[in-house]
């Protein structure tokens, strides 16, 4: 593992003007299209968020953020994608950005695709990667994936990768209904070979997805911290502002330190992915394990420290806790990432 004194000069952690402007634009779009009442309505079967928010993202050019300029994209890096995901996590908003514009796009870029990528870059279509498919020889076997509905499913089979259209999907209930899951049947679907040597590209895409998911988890955690601090500055009990109680000050200080550490880990992971730094696998597994637990802990603290109001449907704390718990399993549990990290740095696997 490369030591900190030999870190390449182009790995920067501080946000530049482009990232700050992008973060502000995304936050404005999310605030407009994903208020709490609309997010809650998704659990009642009414989704008035995903479509309008994706249209707003398309106007900003976000679907093609990681697509090369030659194919209609922005040619940006993982750093910019991380800025988008942080804002999605802050609002717990539904979007195919992670599954389509990050994971699926990363696979297709690595394989030199020129057929599907332009459609993804324009926002006209979305894609989702099936990460644990049943063999194609099994025909109609059902699969499960996130990021649906999607126009194109990317199906690994051995070392090969197929683009699948016309698959049958059936939504299923999930803890976080803003990140829908579905069972998928490939019976009768059209399959097109993308590459017969796609294993490395799929692995890279999953690593990138896990690293950038950490940014979304930081967004969840930072929302929880900032919202809780603001609430405790106003809530009064026994004639005093609740935030002035020493025990709560200690809890908030500990939470602040944890969120800042998670932010640094996520930023470093995104920076190493953006520059193809050889330290990227280590950085990603560190960020993925730490940020997942930080997001869940922060959301739980938000609910507890808000008291009774934090348990209500109208308060958005439940949305962030559900997003944190769902993200904790989406691309590998914290335990799985720690086991992978132990292998990379030659340490005994945690038990």
Pairing relationship of beta strands 160-165 and 152-157 according to DSSP bridges: antiparallel
CATH class of 200-344: mainly alpha
Residue 6 is predicted with a pLDDT of: 43
Residue 146 is predicted with a pLDDT of: 67
Q: Three-state secondary structure along the chain?
A: CCCHHHCCCCCCCCCCHHHHHHHHHHHHHHHHHCCHHHHHHHCCCCCCCHHHHHHHHHHHCCCCCCCCHHHCCCCCCHHHHHHHHHHHHHHCCCCCHHHHHHHHHHHHHHCCCCCCHHHHHCCCCCEEECCCCCCHHHCCCEEEEECCCCCEEEEEECCEEEEEECCEEEEECCCCCCCCEEEEECCCCEEEEEECCCHHHHHHHHHHHHHHHHHHHHHHHHHHHHHHHHHHHHCEECCEEHHHCHHHHHHHHHHHHHHHHHHHHHHHHHHHHHCCCCCHHHHHHHHHHHHHHHHHHHHHHHHHHCHHHHHCCCCCHHHHHHHHHHHHHHCCCHHHHHHHHHHHCCCCCCC
Q: Which residues of the chain register pLDDT less than 50? A: 1-6, 8-9, 133-142
Phi/psi of residue 120, each to 5°? -70, -40
pLDDT digits (tens, 9 = 90+) for 164-203: 999 888 888 888 999 888 888 888 899 999 999 999 999 9
d(CA 79, CA 295): 20
Residue 349 is predicted with a pLDDT of: 62
pTM of the shown model = 0.89
């Amino acid at each position: 593992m490369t030591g900190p004194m030999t870190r390449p000069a182009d790995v920067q952690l501080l946000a530049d003007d482009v990232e700050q402007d992008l973060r502000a634009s995304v936050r404005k779009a999310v605030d407009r299209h994903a208020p709490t009442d609309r997010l809650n309505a998704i659990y009642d079967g009414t989704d008035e968020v995903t479509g309008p928010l994706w249209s707003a993202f398309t106007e900003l050019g976000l679907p093609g953020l990681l697509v090369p300029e030659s194919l209609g994209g922005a040619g940006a890096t993982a750093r910019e994608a991380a800025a988008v995901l942080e804002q999605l996590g802050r609002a717990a908003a539904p979007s195919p950005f992670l599954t389509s514009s990050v994971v699926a796009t990363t696979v297709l870029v690595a394989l030199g695709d020129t057929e599907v990528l332009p459609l993804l870059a324009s926002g006209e279509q979305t894609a989702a990667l099936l990460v644990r498919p049943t063999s194609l020889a099994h025909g109609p076997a059902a699969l499960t994936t996130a990021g649906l509905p999607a126009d194109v499913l990317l199906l690994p089979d051995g070392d090969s990768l197929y683009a699948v259209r016309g698959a049958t999907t059936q939504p299923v209930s999930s803890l976080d209904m803003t990140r829908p899951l579905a069972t998928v049947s490939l019976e009768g679907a059209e399959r097109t070979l993308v590459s017969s040597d796609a294993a490395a590209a799929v692995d890279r895409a999953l690593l990138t997805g896990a690293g950038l998911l950490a940014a979304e988890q930081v967004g969840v955690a930072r929302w929880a911290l900032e919202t809780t601090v603001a609430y405790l500055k106003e809530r009064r009990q026994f004639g005093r502002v609740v935030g002035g109680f020493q025990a709560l000050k200690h809890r908030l200080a500990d939470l602040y330190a944890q969120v800042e550490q998670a932010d640094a880990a996520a930023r470093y992971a995104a920076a190493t992915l953006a520059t193809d730094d050889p330290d990227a696998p280590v950085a990603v597994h560190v960020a993925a394990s730490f940020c997942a637990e930080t997001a869940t802990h922060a959301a739980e603290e938000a609910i507890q420290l808000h008291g009774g109001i934090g348990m209500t449907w109208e308060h958005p704390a439940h949305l962030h806790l559900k997003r944190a718990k769902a993200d904790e399993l989406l691309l590998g549990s914290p335990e799985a990432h720690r086991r992978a990290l132990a292998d990379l740095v030659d340490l005994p696997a945690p038990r």
